[in-house]
Structure 1
Amino acid sequence: MRAAIVGSGYIARVHARLIAELCGDVVAVCGRTLSGAQAFGIGQAYDNLDAMLRAEKPDVVHICSPNSFHAEQTIASFAAGAHVLCEKPMATSADDCRRMIDAADTAGRVGAIAYCYRGYPIVRELRRLVRNGDFGALWRITGLYLSQDVCDPDKYVWHFSPGLCGPAFALFDYGVHWFDLLQFVTGQPIAEIQAQFSTRRPDRTWHGNPGEGPRPRGEATEDGGVRVDFALEDQADLLLRLAGGASGSATVMALSPGNPNHIALSVDGESGGFDWLQEQPNSFVERRPGLKIIRDRDPDRLDPADRWTAAVPGGHPEGYPDAFRNVIAESWRGMRGETADFPTFGAGLRGIAIVEAAVASAAERRPVTVDIPGADFARDYPMD
C-alpha cells in the first residue's frame, strides 16, 4: 500500500514503522507545520492536506492528528479516492462519525480505526473461548485503563487545549480502547453506562514546547505561557451492563503513578473466568471452580483463523508493535476486500456513542442507555 500519514508526532512514527514492516511505502507526511513534517524524515513533507492528496494520490491515509481534525481530514481523504485508517477516537461526536461513514460509502472506500490491542494473539484466543461458550453465560466484567501520562502537573499535551480533544479526555484517549477490547472479546455491546467523572489537575500551563500544539486560548503567564482551565475528566469511574446481562465496573485514569499503560480485563461466567493484563500480553489466567491455570501464548492452540496473528513460535514473546502491526495488516486486508474482521468505522462510532452516554450520565448523575440508531453490532464486530 502507498500510504500517507497525517500528523508527525509519536503515534505517527509508530504507524510509519509498522507500515514499513508490512512492506508498505510512506510516500508523504502532512504536519501542522512544514518543518514538523520535514523532521519526520520519511516521504515527501507537506503542511497542506489537499495538496498532499492531489500530488501523491495515496492508497491509504493514516490519520494521526488531534481528535478535532479527524472528521474533516478523513472526509477529504475519501473524496480523493483513498482508504483511511484513523487513530482513536474516530471523531469528537457521533454525528461526525456518521458523516465519515457516509463519506466512505459515497466514495466506495473503507475506513478502519487503530484499535491496536485487539491484535494480540491471546486476545484472539480469549474471544474464541468466550464466543464458543467455554466460560458459560457471562456474569461479571471489570477492567482498568490506568496511565501516568499526565501525572506531572507541569506537563502539557495538546488534549488540554480547548476545542482539540472533544467532550471527554480520559475516555477518548484511553477508554475507547478498553470499550473496544471488552466488546471484541465478549461479542456483546455495552448497553448501559453510569459514569462519575473527576478532574484531579484542573490547571495546566502551555509553554510552547514540542508536542503541546498551537498556542491555546487562556490566561497569559509572565513567562510567555498560557494557563488553561482544563475542564475535562482525567479520571472516569464507570458501571457497565452488556446487552447479554453481564455487569461490572471499570476505571479509566490518566494520572496513575507507576502505571505507564496498565490495561486489565477480567470476566466471570457461570462455568469459569479469566484475567488478562496488557503489560503481560503473552499469557492469561484461566479460572475454574477451585482452580487457576496460567495459559501462555501458544500458536498451536489458536484457532486456525487466528494463527496468522502469532509471528513467532511459542516461548518467544510478542508485544505492542506486533499487535498493532496485526491490526494495520487486517485493516489493509479489509480495504482490499479480503476480510470484514477489522476495526471498522462502525466500531469507531460505537466507541464515541459510549463516551457520549458516559458524558451525559456524569452530568445527569444517572444510568444512560447506549443508543446507536441504525447500528448493527454483528456487522461492527464480526467473528471472522
Structure 2
Amino acid sequence: MTDPASSDVNGGLTRRAESRAGERLRAAIVGGGFMAEVHSRAIRAARAEVAGIVSSSAQRSADAAERLGATRAYDSLDQLLVDDAIDVVHVTSPNALHAEQAAAVLAAGKDVVCEKPLATTTADAEALVTAAEGRVATVPFIYRFHPMAREARARFASGRAGSVLSINASYLQDWLLGAGDDNWRVDSKQGGRSRAFADIGSHLVDLVEFISGDRVSRVSATKRTVFAERAAHSSITTEDAVAVVVETVSGALGTLLVSQVAPGRKNRLWIEIAGSEESVAFDQEQPETLWVGRRAGSLLIPRDADQLSADAARLCVVPSGHPQGYQDAFNAFIADSYAAIAGESPEGLPRFTDGLRAVRITDAVLDSAEAGTWIEMGTEE
C-alpha cells in the first residue's frame, strides 16, 4: 500500500518533506513573532518537523518553542547553527537582521528560507546571492502561489493576453492608520531605509513582473511619512505611502500605489495588467476568481482546476467552491522550497536572486522619491 505521507497529491504539495539523506526534513525558525507562526504551520503542512526555534533571548526562545510546538529551544543562533540535526533554517527576525543571519546559516552549510526584504542594502543582498550558490535559498514572495495569480501568468506566457500595454496595481493596508499605531518596522534601525515599499511594495512589484513576464526598467516615485511621531517612536523617516510610475523593458507604462494608512483596507493587493488581446485582474482579498477583460465577452474565471493551466491547477489543494487563502499560498511556497531541497526544480520558486531584485527596485524607488528624478533600472536580470 502507498504511504499517504509520501504520496504525490495535488502536484506534490502534500508529500513528506525529506532531507538529502532521505529522512524527514528538520527545520528551525529564527524569530518568534507572527511570521514565525505562519512558517511553523507551513513547515508542518509540508510534513517536516519544527525541530527548533531561537528568539531574542533564551526565555523568549523557550516561550516560542512552547507556543509553536518546536522540539527544542536554542539559547542563541550560534547554538542552532552547530546542530547537525537541522537541515533548513527559516529567518523571520526583524529586517535589519536578515542579511547577517541568513549569511550565517549559509556559512553553516544549511539551506535557508529568509523573509523579505532579503537585506536592507543592495550590497548585502548581492553578497547573499553569492553566498547561496550551491544551496537552496528562497524568499517568501508567496502571492505567486495563489492559483489564480498563476493562471494570470499563464495567459501572458502563452500569448493569449498578448503583449503588455499597461499596469495598474496597488497594495493597501490600514494597520498603521493612526498616530497611536506603532511597530518596530517604523524604526529605520530595525526595518531599514524603506518601510511600506520594502514590506509590501516588494510583493507588488514581484507579482507584477512574475505575472507579466516583463521587467520594470525605470521608476519615478514620491513618498509620504504621515506620522513622524508615533506611540513609541519619534523622528520617523520611513514612509507610510508611496506612489510610483513605472516603465517596463517592453515599453509598457504602469502606476503602483502602496500604503499602510488606507482605511478599511486590511491586505488588499490588487493587480490589473492590460495586454493587447485581454486584460487580467487579480485581487488577493478575493483570490478565488480572475477577471479577464476583453473588448467583447469579458470573463470571471473561478478557481477550478479543470478550467486552469497545469501550473495553476497543481496549486488547487481543495475543490472549487472551498476557498483557499494566504496560508495555503504560504504552505505551497514552503512545499516547493522543500521540493527544491530534495533536488526538484519547482516552477516559479522565488530564490535569493528574486530577493535581490526586490531590494534593487526598493532602492530605486527611494532614490527617485528623494531626488525627484527618474531612476533607471536598466535591463538587468
- TM, length-normalised to structure 1: 0.89
Matches within 5 A, 1:158-307: 158-206=184-232, 227-307=233-313
Correspondence for 1:347 among 310, 331, 354: 354
Identity of aligned residues (%): 32
> Structure 2: how far apart are the matches of 1:291 and 1:251?
29
The one-letter code sitting in structure 2 at the alignment partner of 1:367 is W
Residues 1:69 and 2:97 aligned together: yes
> Structure 2: how far apart are the matches of 1:39 and 1:115?
28
1:95: Cα distance to partner?
Answer: 0.7
1:340: Cα distance to partner?
Answer: 5.2
Runs of 4+ in 1 over 3 A off after TM superposition: none
> Structure 1: how far apart are the matches of 2:198 and 2:120?
8
Aligned residues: 352
Mapped contact 2:304–2:313 kept (Cα < 8 A): no
1:205: Cα distance to partner?
Answer: 2.9
| Structure 1 runs not aligned, ≥5 long | 207-226, 377-384
Tell me which moved more, 92-101 or 303-312.
303-312
CA deviation profile, 1:139-189 (whole Å, cap 9, x unmatched): 010101001111132122111224111111100111000011101101111
2:123 is paired with a residue whose SS is helix
> Structure 1: how far apart are the matches of 2:335 and 2:207?
18
1:56: Cα distance to partner?
Answer: 5.1
Matches within 5 A, 1:1-384: 1-40=25-64, 41=66, 42-43=69-70, 44-55=72-83, 57-105=85-133, 108-206=134-232, 227-339=233-345, 341=347, 342-371=349-378, 375-376=380-381
2:202 is paired with a residue whose SS is helix
> Structure 2: how far apart are the matches of 1:47 and 1:353?
34
1:17: Cα distance to partner?
Answer: 0.8
The one-letter code sitting in structure 2 at the alignment partner of 1:135 is A
- TM, length-normalised to structure 2: 0.89
The one-letter code sitting in structure 1 at the alignment partner of 2:362 is V
Mapped contact 1:286–1:292 kept (Cα < 8 A): yes
1:315: Cα distance to partner?
Answer: 2.1
2:353 is paired with a residue whose SS is helix
| Structure 2 runs not aligned, ≥5 long | 1-24
> Structure 1: how far apart are the matches of 2:272 and 2:322?
25
CA-atom RMSD, angstroms? 1.4
Tell me which moved more, 152-161 or 196-205.
152-161
1:325 is paired with a residue whose SS is helix
The one-letter code sitting in structure 2 at the alignment partner of 1:311 is V
Mapped contact 1:160–1:228 kept (Cα < 8 A): no
The one-letter code sitting in structure 2 at the alignment partner of 1:362 is A
2:314 is paired with a residue whose SS is helix
